Amino acid sequence: MTSGPETSYRVRGGGPLHGTVFVQGAKNAALKMIAASLLTANGHTVLRNVPPIEDVRRAVELAQAVGALVEFHESERTLVVDASQLTSPVLPAEIARRFRSSVLLVPALLHLIMAASLAPGRTVIDNTAQEPEVLDVIAFLTKMGARITGGGTGFITVDGVEELTAVEHTVMADRIDAGVFAMAAAITGGELNLVGVSLEHFGVVRWKLEQMGVEFSTNGAVLAVRMDRPPRPINVITSPYPGFATDLQSPIMALACLAEGASYIRETIFDGRYTLVGELNKMGARVELDGSAVIVHGPSTFRGARVVAHDLRTGIALVLAGLAAEGETVVTPGYPIDRGHAAIAQRFNALGADIERL
Closest CA to 214 of 185, 176, 257: 185
Q: Do domains 9-24+173-357 and 27-170 have the same CATH topology?
A: yes
Q: Mean pLDDT in the chain?
A: 91
Q: Which residue has the higher pLDDT, 187 or 35?
A: 187
Q: Is the pLDDT of residue 352 over 80?
A: yes
Cβ–Cβ under 8 Å, residues 237 and 273: no
For position 183, what pLDDT does the model report? 98
Q: What's the alpha-carbon Rg for the chain, to the nearest Å?
A: 21
**What would the CATH number be for the domain defined by 9-24+173-357?**
3.65.10.10
Q: Is the pLDDT of residue 119 over 90?
A: no
pTM: 0.93
Q: How far is residue 237's CA from residue 187's CA, in Å, rounded to a whole number?
A: 20
Letter string b/e over residues 127-157, b meaning 16 or more CB atoms within 10 A of that residue's CB: eeeebbbbbbbbbbbeebebebeebeeeebe
For position 123, what pLDDT does the model report? 81
- Phi, psi torsion values for 238, nearest 5 degrees: -70, 145
For position 114, what pLDDT does the model report? 44
CA neighbours closer than 13 Å in the CB half-sphere of residue 174 = 25
| β-strand partners of 303 | 326
Q: Quick one: pLDDT band at residue 100, thresholds 50, 70, 90?
A: low
Residue type, position 301, single letter: T
Q: Is the pLDDT of residue 91 over 70?
A: no
Angle between helices 175-188 and 312-323 (to 10 degrees): 30
For position 66, what pLDDT does the model report? 87
Q: How far is residue 90's CA from residue 205's CA, in Å, rounded to a whole number?
A: 39
**What would the CATH number be for the domain defined by 27-170?**
3.65.10.10
Q: Is the pLDDT of residue 317 over 90?
A: yes
For position 95, what pLDDT does the model report? 62
Q: Which residue has the higher pLDDT, 159 or 9?
A: 9
Q: Quick one: pLDDT band at residue 129, thresholds 50, 70, 90?
A: confident
For position 1, what pLDDT does the model report? 43
Q: Is the pLDDT of residue 310 over 90?
A: yes
Q: What is the pLDDT of residues 163-215, one digit of tens each?
A: 899 999 999 999 999 999 999 999 999 999 999 999 999 999 999 999 999 99
Q: How far is residue 7's CA from residue 125's CA, in Å, rounded to a whole number?
A: 42
Cβ–Cβ under 8 Å, residues 60 and 72: yes
Cβ–Cβ under 8 Å, residues 295 and 263: yes
Q: Quick one: pLDDT band at residue 113, thresholds 50, 70, 90?
A: very low
Residue type, position 117, single letter: S
Domain boundaries, the chain: 9-24+173-357, 27-170
Q: Is the pLDDT of residue 3 over 60?
A: no
For position 115, what pLDDT does the model report? 43
The alpha carbon of residue 139 and the mean position of all alpha carbons in its chain are separated, in whole angstroms, by 19
For position 163, what pLDDT does the model report? 87
